[in-house]
Amino acid sequence: MKQTDYVILGLLSESPLTGYQIKRIIDIRFRFFWSESYGQIYPRLKSLQIQGLIEETDSTIKRNRSQKTYQIKPEGLAALLHWLEQPVERESVRIELLLKMYFSHLITADTMVSHLRGFQEAHEKDLQLIQMAERELKAIIGKDPNHPYVLRVIDFGEKINEAYINWSRETIKFLESRREK
Would you tell me which residues interact with a second copy (CB under 8 A)? 3, 6-7, 10, 13, 30, 32-35, 80-81, 84-85, 87-107, 111, 114-115, 118-119, 122, 145-146, 148-150, 152-153, 155-156, 159-160, 163-164, 166-167, 170-171, 174, 178
C-alpha closest to that of 141 among 129, 128, 154: 154
| Residue among 46, 124, 137, 151 that touches DNA (CB under 7 A) | 46
Minimum distance, C-beta of residue 129 to DNA, in the bound complex (Å): 16
What x-and-dash track marks residues 60-89 binding DNA by CB under 7 A? ---xxxxxxx--------------------
The residue among 3 and 13 lying less far from DNA, judged by its C-beta, is 3
73 in Cβ contact with 13 (< 8 Å): no
- End-to-end, the C-alpha distance of the chain in Å comes to 57
**Residue-wise burial string across 112-121, b where 16 or more C-beta atoms lie within 10 A, e elsewhere:** bbebbeebbe
Nearer to a second copy, 58 or 91 (CB): 91
| Closer residue to a second copy (CB): 33 or 60 | 33
Note whether 55 and 70 are within 8 A (CB): yes
Q: Tell which residue, 129, 175, 117, 107, has the closest CA to residue 30.
A: 129
> Minimum CB separation from a second copy for residue 179, in Å?
13
Minimum gap (Å) between residue 174 Cβ and DNA: 29
Distances in Å between the Cα of 41 and the Cα atoms of 6, 47, 60, 98, 145 are 11, 10, 24, 30, 26
